[in-house]
Amino acid sequence: MRKPIIAGNWKLNKTVEEAIELVEDIKVKTMDLDKNRMPTVVVCPVFTAIKSVADILERGKGIYIGAQNCYWEDSGAFTGEVSVPIIKDLCASYVITGHSERRQYFGETDENINKKAKAILSHGLIPIICCGETLEQREAGRTDDIVKNQIIADLQGLTEEQVAGSVIAYEPVWAIGTGKTCDSAEANRVIKLIRDTVAQVSSRDSADKVRILYGGSVKPSTIEEQMSQSDIDGALVGGASLKAEDFAQIIKGAMLVSSPN
Ligand code: PGA
């Protein structure tokens, strides 16, 4: 059975002080939840707040830390970049890669994302590999091809074990930050297609193990229906993860419909 994940992507928000306040609030609001039934919870602050947030959370006690990006080289003359060993040193265990905002505003390609996924995995961290179509691509009937091609390129050269241990997030670009969630049955259909693509490029076993999240305007009111779908293993949450109450409600909503082992 795949253990669900609820991950919060804080994007470019929160100073160190604000991040500490938010994570303390999340900690208090999730304190009484049954740890055995709780999904894996991940928060992804900006780089500068990772250490302070990590100091507040006790690793292995339900809430993990992620970074929102990384560079694929470990060190060297790469001004402005942050590498996986440096992220690991801050006690983060997850790294988001291939988010559509990075693809759109920072020219990130599937080739870059693949290199980043390999770097993340080679240091024992878990990549959250994002994929998803734009509105234009959806309206042109290209959703399936776009998503399939992204996944094939992003996972290229990964071992079956590495694929099984990765997390994929299907985030239709038109649903991100717009308040427009993708219909749950449709999100499940695309996620199944992603799983079948993983089976083709890796193996059926790794496809059955890889956790695939939905992302795009996830809210407390949408999570139960999303989690009740056969192939949706959790959520990557943007806006709603910046409000401790909403994020805690999303975690609780996920627990109502899933029973992780
Ligand atoms: P959103 O963002 O929940 O604000 O739509 C999701 C994401 O970008 O990961």
Q: How far apart are the C-alpha atoms of 101 and 48, rounded to whole Å?
A: 19
Task: Look at the chain and count its residues.
Answer: 261
The atom of ligand 1 lying closest to the CA of 169 is 9
d(CA 57, CA 118): 27
Residue 60 has pLDDT above 70, yes or no: no
- Taking only the tens place, the pLDDT of each residue in 132-191 is 999 999 999 999 999 999 999 999 999 999 999 999 999 999 999 999 999 999 999 999
The predicted structure's pLDDT at residue 183: 96
CA of 257 to the centre of ligand 1 (A): 22
Q: Which atom of ligand 1 is nearest to the CA of 216?
A: 5
**Ligand 1 atom showing the smallest separation from residue 176 Cα:** 5
CA atoms within 13 A on the CB side of 37: 14
Q: What's the gap in Å between 75 CA and the centre of ligand 1? A: 30
Give the pLDDT score at 35.
87
User: Quick one: how far is CA 191 from the chain centroid?
Assistant: 14
Mean pLDDT on 1-20: 97
* Nearest by Cα to 92 from 103, 83, 80: 83
pLDDT at 261: 38
| Domain layout of the chain by residue ranges | 5-256
How far, in Å, from the CA of 77 to the mean position of ligand 1?
32
Beta strands, E only, 76-201: 94-97, 126-131, 167-170
- pLDDT per position as a tens digit, 88-102: 999 999 999 999 999
Q: Whose CA is nearest to atom 9 of ligand 1?
A: 238
Q: What residues are labeled active site?
A: 99, 171
> Would you say residue 62 has pLDDT above 90?
no
The alpha carbon of 13 and the centre of ligand 1 are apart by a number of angstroms equal to 13
**Site residues for ligand 1, CB cut-off 6 Å:** 9, 171, 176-177, 215-218, 236-240
Farthest CA pair distance, the chain: 48
Q: Which of 131, 135, 176 to mutate to test the pocket of ligand 1 (most atoms within 8 A of CB)?
A: 176
Q: Which residues pair with 71 in a beta bridge?
A: 83
120's tokens: 């993340």
Tell which CATH architecture fits domain 5-256.
Alpha-Beta Barrel (3.20)
Do residues 222 and 234 make contact, with C-beta atoms less than 8 angstroms apart? no
Q: How many CB atoms lie within 10 A of CB 2?
A: 16
Whether 197 contacts 151, CB under 8 Å: yes
